[in-house]
Homo-oligomer: A and B are copies of this chain.
């Protein structure tokens, strides 16, 4: 299928192009962006999307989430983290079956399509059901089988084996599915096991995805079991390992200096970090040190939703406020975090993250003809600070139009999906 997006205002996020290009057309052939230019000829085109007055962007990339956690939205009010996990989430998760994971994942994927996020990096379990939901929704997914060694040697080796089998099972599968080696965290894996996981990531040439320094308790737990600082554990084990580090809230300036030359990619999840009482990471310092920073929502249990526009706004504002410097974090830098930086984190920058000829057609179109966004004094700031998921008009993944004019193109009944998830939560709730 050949699609042309006509006459949009393009924020390509391609550093070789201008930041903003007006009246620009984009030609998509099958899954690929083949041409970007003015007044592209529209003969032999299957579909013309008129983007006049609209803003065209690469699809947003969520680099840390737990896809099936849609069903645990708003279950934490007034609770401490351990109470929430031990008394609510873990007992409920223990009751989940494959079908639950499928329906809960589908809810998250619909949420992504509606809010302009085209790629998600997931860490959970029962990945086959998540992938099954993904196949229906059409989202670009990187997933894993979560690895940890706290349940004994047999369980931890079984997890590694399951991950290997999972990856093998989907070998030569659709291009929109990829995997990483998901280590739950240093505090839930011993060093021997971490080394085994890293070995696997090297064998398979896949990135590692790991929770890291999310809160003070995690840091002290790691220090007590590893006998040294978490940053030192990274230095000792993760050299030349492409690693997506979720959170990294508790890294101080000294840690950042030490770690900056590793191949680490921080996925900051500011909303979840605040809600769980973790704190605010030193993102501006990381950026200054040259560390690649991208954005994540975390699961909806702590992050409330998968709306990447909210994550952009929180990321930008928190750094300015906490560091008491309004010049930090320009809007363009934050938009990069939500797009091309995310692609780099997931080892996908040759495929996605910018609207570039030759890349896959993961594109969103925003309707900014809205009095709430006017007058527009600075388009990029308007998108970072004032646009919402609800301004997304059209979502295209791998050349497929998943939503157009705010209407889902999927052959699914949203109300039935919601009802299914309501039934799940009724069944499993504590």
Contact = CB atoms under 8 A, between A and B. Distances in A.
Interface of A: 70-81, 84, 107, 110-111, 114-115, 215-216, 271, 273-280, 304-305, 307, 314, 317-318, 320-328, 330-331, 371-372, 374-378, 380-382, 385-386, 388-390, 414, 417-418, 421-422, 425
A422 B414 CA distance: 39
Contact of A111 (B115, B371, B417): B371
- Counted per complex, copies of this chain come to 2
Contact of A276 (B72, B276, B326): B326
A15 B214 CA distance: 38
A377 B275 CA distance: 16
Contact of A275 (B304, B317, B389): B317
Contacts of A377: 72-75, 425
Contacts of A80: 326-327
A324 B279 contact: yes
Nearest to A310: B313
A107 B75 contact: no
A89 to B, nearest CB: 12
30 contacts: A72-B377, A73-B374, A73-B377, A73-B382, A73-B386, A74-B381, A75-B377, A77-B380, A84-B326, A111-B371, A274-B320, A274-B321, A276-B320, A276-B326, A277-B320, A277-B321, A277-B323, A277-B324, A277-B325, A277-B327, A278-B321, A279-B321, A304-B386, A305-B372, A307-B372, A371-B417, A372-B389, A374-B418, A377-B425, A388-B390
Which 9 pairs show the lowest CB-CB distances between chains A and B?
Answer: A274-B321, A277-B326, A274-B317, A74-B381, A304-B385, A74-B378, A374-B418, A77-B381, A390-B390
A371 B110 contact: yes
A375 B77 contact: no
Contacts of A70: 375
B271 A372 contact: no
Contacts of A273: 321
Contacts of A275: 317, 320-321, 326, 385
A23 to B, nearest CB: 19
A276 to B, nearest CB: 5
Contacts of A277: 320-321, 323-328
B382 A74 contact: yes
Given A73-B382, A74-B382, 6 more contacts: A74-B386, A77-B378, A78-B330, A278-B321, A280-B322, A371-B417
Nearest to A328: B277
A374 B304 contact: no
A66 to B, nearest CB: 16
B71 A375 contact: yes
B317 A271 contact: yes
Contacts of A322: 274, 279-280
A72 B331 CA distance: 16
A215 B381 CA distance: 23
Contacts of A78: 327, 330
B376 A321 contact: no
Contacts of A79: 326-327
Contacts of A271: 317
Given A73-B382, A317-B274, A374 B324 contact: no
B375 A73 contact: yes
Contacts of A323: 277
A58 B90 CA distance: 37
A390 B309 CA distance: 14
Contacts of A305: 372, 386
